Amino acid sequence: MHDLIAYTDGACSGNPGPGGWGAVLKTADGNDGEMSGGEAKTTNNRMELTAVIEGLLLVPAGQSVQVYTTSDYLFQGATKWINGWRKRGWVKGDGKPVANGDLWQALDQLMREYAIHWINAKGTTHVGLDEAAILAVTASRRNG
């Protein structure tokens, strides 16, 4: 059982373009919350990362969190690539800097404070994911 479930999503109109992110947090005791935000000129990948970061910032350290994402980039990065990037000083295997390195480093720090179970929910339907997507798209439109 996890202390919290986070459903996250990012959206962008153009890439780069106006973007938004959304996070829906659900706790076992029914204290649910949602948040969103965005930027005027960004990318979808940055918004996907920001959604998780902003969601985790509201969670007390030491909690067990199940994170749902539909972003392969976020899922693969958080579960497979991040350790290698950290070891190489945030440089990819080809010697180029990691894209969105500032956000990956922030997420890496946060991941040390929680027991996170990542769920790649691409291609699935869930009310929490739908809610996060609506928040992200709405925030994107506010920044457009």
Domains, the chain, ranges and CATH?
A: 4-142 (3.30.420.10)
Is the pLDDT assigned to residue 43 strictly greater than 80?
Answer: yes
pLDDT score of 12: 95
Distance CA 60, CA 55 (A): 11
User: In whole angstroms, what separates CA 30 from the centre of its chain?
Assistant: 22
pLDDT digits (tens, 9 = 90+) for 106-135: 999 999 999 999 999 998 888 999 999 999
